[in-house]
Amino acid sequence: MAHRVNVRETGEHFWVEPEETVLQAAKRQGIRIHSDCEFGGCGTCRIHVTQGQVQYEDDCLPMSVADEEHAAGMAAACQARLVGDIEISLANHQDDLADAQEVDATVLSVERACSGIWRVRLQLPEGVAMDYRPGQYLNVLCEDGRTRSFSMASANAANGVVELHIREIAGGRFTQQRLPTLQAGDTLRLMLPLGQFYWREKDWRPMVMVATGTGIAPIKAILESLLDNDDCPPISLYWGMRNVEDLYLVEEIAAWADRLFEFQFVPVLSNADGNWTGARGYVQHQVCEDFPDLSEHAVYLCGSPAMIDEAKALFGLQGADSQFVYADAFNFQADSQALPA
């Protein structure tokens, strides 16, 4: 039998059939729950179950919901199924975001950022007003019907120029076949803006921002949007890479120091040689060493699912409040319909 879901904020309700997830039922009945990956990895569709409970296939929690979060009522709507009526809070899904649109963008430049990573600049069509929040991503709509998702590294698109940082993926049809052949003047079909990863101004908490690899791209967009902002909170940025040669943005980041409030930048290398004098190991471990108490911070995580999964667990032990932890997991799969990658 179907079960009823009541939405605390609006008084709306919808029904979930036995074969449906909460997200599928909400979409079918016009209830807006933001989502991205839809396999439980990113956390975009997380809801707060304030009455009742949900269950998951094989009783296995999705990656985006830790044990203690599940106990506190947090749920991944894309995987959650019902055994009874529930009430949910959609407070994190009430932001007034611009609707995504399809456009044909022109390639302005394609260049190497470092080994295995490209920087691509695209020009949106004249007259297209893209209202997006720095940190969001776009989809490239490929000719074979698949999509490839990439975070935008641009602070704004007032001039219609969008920058992407793209890592080559072994066997990737786009990153290893299409991308190396792109030239200035070529056209890409895009869907944008998308996603729920952006700065929550209403939090106004000191921020700890943690990135691995090209996860630095959306964080770059957020931080550049805060340059010279008198209301900018204190910011600590941790960027994990393997080698010093991979730190392709280090000079740009260094230039932000005097334009952000109490800005600290800590690059962390997992495979540094003997000449490296900075932090070593995994970036999430360095944050734990530097921040024994994260209870007053907002945390932004962007990069590999493994890093994000462990960081959420570790930071929870450091007192981080899951309501103020925002994540954008990059799913590097050659032929998936993907999270930003």
Assign domain 3-93 to a CATH class.
alpha beta
Tell me yes or no: is domain 101-194 CATH 1.20.1530.20: no
Q: How far is 22 from 107, CA to CA, in rounded Å?
A: 39
At 252 the pLDDT is: 95
User: Regarding predicted confidence, which is higher, 315 or 92?
Assistant: 315
Return the SS3 of 280: strand
At 116 the pLDDT is: 94
β 147-151/137-141 pair status: antiparallel
| Alpha-carbon distances, residue 32 vs 7, 43, 144, 178, 285 (angstroms) | 11, 15, 29, 34, 36
Element of type H or E holding 15: strand 13-16
Asked whether residue 265 carries a pLDDT value surpassing 60, the answer given is: yes
Asked whether residue 338 carries a pLDDT value surpassing 60, the answer given is: no
CATH fold of 201-329 reads Rossmann fold (3.40.50)
Q: What is the pLDDT of residues 187-196, one digit of tens each?
A: 999 999 988 8
Average pLDDT value over all residues in the chain: 91
Q: How far is 269 from 247, CA to CA, in rounded Å?
A: 9
Return the SS3 of 283: helix
Contact 269, 178 (CB under 8 A): no
Asked whether residue 318 carries a pLDDT value surpassing 90, the answer given is: yes
**Mean pLDDT value of segment 5-22:** 94
Q: What is the pLDDT of residues 78-135, one digit of tens each?
A: 999 999 999 999 887 767 677 889 999 999 999 999 999 999 999 999 888 778 899 9
Q: How far is 328 from 293, CA to CA, in rounded Å?
A: 23
Confidence tier at 337 by pLDDT (50, 70, 90): very low
Contact 112, 118 (CB under 8 A): yes
CB atoms within 10 A of CB 340: 29
Q: How far is 160 from 135, CA to CA, in rounded Å?
A: 16
Q: How far is 340 from 330, CA to CA, in rounded Å?
A: 5
Confidence tier at 158 by pLDDT (50, 70, 90): low
**Mean pLDDT value of segment 44-64:** 92
At 165 the pLDDT is: 97
Single pTM value for the model: 0.81
Q: How far is 314 from 308, CA to CA, in rounded Å?
A: 10
Q: What is the pLDDT of residues 131-154, one digit of tens each?
A: 889 999 999 998 888 889 999 999
Confidence tier at 36 by pLDDT (50, 70, 90): confident
Q: Among 129-143, 304-318, 326-340, where is mean pLDDT lowest?
A: 326-340
Return the SS3 of 38: coil
Asked whether residue 246 carries a pLDDT value surpassing 90, the answer given is: yes
Q: How far is 110 from 286, CA to CA, in rounded Å?
A: 33
Q: What is the pLDDT of residues 272-300, one digit of tens each?
A: 999 999 999 999 999 999 999 999 999 99
Contact 210, 182 (CB under 8 A): no
Asked whether residue 199 carries a pLDDT value surpassing 80, the answer given is: yes
Q: Spell out the domain ranges in the chain.
A: 3-93, 101-194, 201-329
At 331 the pLDDT is: 57
Asked whether residue 173 carries a pLDDT value surpassing 80, the answer given is: yes
CB atoms within 10 A of CB 147: 18
User: Regarding predicted confidence, which is higher, 338 or 294?
Assistant: 294
Contact 212, 238 (CB under 8 A): no
At 329 the pLDDT is: 79
Q: How far is 320 from 315, CA to CA, in rounded Å?
A: 5
Element of type H or E holding 235: strand 235-241
Beta strands in 28-175 (DSSP E): 46-51, 54-55, 74-76, 81-82, 86-89, 101-114, 117-123, 137-141, 147-151, 161-167
